[in-house]
Amino acid sequence: MSKTYNVAIAGATGAVGQEMIRTLEKRAFPVAELRLLASSRSAGRFMTFRGESIPVGVLDHDSFEGIDFALFSAGGSRSLEYAPAAVRAGAIVIDNSSAYRMDPAVPLVVPEVNPEDVTDHDGIIANPNCTTIIMLVALQPLHQLSPIRRIIVSTYQSASGAGAQAMEELQNQTEEVLQNQAVTKSAFPHQIAFNLFSHNSTIDDSGYCEEERKMVYETRKILHDDTIRVCPTTVRVPVLRAHSEAIVIEQDRKISVEEARAVLAKAPGVVVVDDPVANHFPMPVEVTGTDDVAVGRIRDDLSHENGLALFACGDQLLKGAALNAVQIAELLVAS
Ligand code: A2P
């Protein structure tokens, strides 16, 4: 009989946690027991996995006895507080928060990009930031053709990146605006319906916000290249759950549009959507609920001889979070 594993999800009731449950089921991950954990607010709640109704328990230090894989998506402070307890209990933690990403002892893994890093851990493996994952799945095939030296990226980030309440806020505000009512703000500092704003994470002395700094430093860690230059502008837009990114890269040698399209068409986790005649390119509504990162608008950078421009979209809750975490667990099972 093939081996099965006990899996816990910390933050099971959240936007990412719910997708983790679905992804484990959809990919037939060999789960023996699934333990669902959230805050005391969710006590008494049940969630469905493989047709079975499972009670949601309260996340605590003793929640991880007998667990093989603990998937965390309950925010950074919960990861810092409870992930060490999970490791002490013998679990391997796959953490979706930013708490451990830049810790040199913690691998930061995108399975399509640096799968070999997954085994070099002390019990915790970090899932990168959603924008970094989506960008690097699109760029890795091009980076393999010729090293990328510089990236200029502008993001169009969905509400889902800020959690389930933020998604609800976008829907509620949309109704409020359409009914000529004042908008209610809670999850976001600004109106998100019929608006967009610069990502609201903290800006430091560099002039870049935390989300942008994540794209810079996580990219360098995942690609094992501290010289790669990244200039991001991160923007929240009124889209429910898929992120888009306009990316311009500079490489060692000139990659033609045809060469780029051909290598992307064969790349794992990528689907090329690039039809200038029909004006059909990657769109959030078309990638929602799908696993692959869509890439299109592949064209020469008219401002640099070794430059290439493209547009990518990925489901933030899936490839940007839950799917990447489950793929990491699959790599560990395979290794
Ligand atoms: P709960 O639903 O009980 O509040 P999202 O990113 O979509 O906002 O989801 C956050 C997830 O993290 C939810 O499952 C939420 O549970 C969980 N969570 C938030 N705060 C805590 C906490 N203090 N202890 C345990 N889980 C928490």
Residues 156 and 184 in one domain: yes
Query: Number of folded domains in the chain?
Result: 2
* Ligand 1 atom closest to residue 59's alpha carbon, by position in its atom list: 25
Both 138 and 78 in one domain: the answer is no
7-19 tens-digit pLDDT = 999 999 999 999 9
- For residue 5, what are the CA distances in angstroms to 70, 82, 321? 11, 20, 21
**In a shared domain, residues 161 and 235:** yes
Same domain, 52 and 177: no
d(CA 218, CA 59): 28
Are 140 and 76 in the same domain? no
Report the interhelical angle of 323-334 vs 15-26 (nearest 10°): 40
Residue whose CB lies within 8 A of the most ligand 1 atoms, among 9, 19, 39, for a mutation test: 39
* pLDDT beneath 70: ranges in the chain: 1
Q: What are phi and psi of 31, to 5 degrees?
A: -90, 130
Pair 305, 328 in one domain: no
124-126 and 69-72 beta bridge pairing: unpaired
Nearest CA, atom 23, ligand 1: 39
Residue 1: predicted pLDDT: 63
Residues 107 and 150 reside in one and the same domain: no
Name, in order, each residue with C-beta under 8 angstroms of 130's C-beta and a sequence gap of 6 or more.
Answer: 157, 161, 243, 314, 316, 320, 321
Which domain covers residue 49, as residue numbers?
5-128+321-334
| C-alpha separations of 288 from 94, 123, 240, 320 in Å | 23, 32, 9, 11
Q: Does residue 11 sit in the same domain as residue 113?
A: yes
**Ligand 1 interacting residues, C-beta cut-off 6 A:** 11-15, 17, 38-39, 41-42, 59, 74-75, 78, 163-165
- 303 and 329 share a domain? no
- Find the CATH number of the domain harbouring 203: 3.30.360.10
Measured from the Cα of 56, ligand 1's closest atom is 3
Token pair listed for 47: 């969630």
The answer on 226 and 269 residing in a single domain is yes
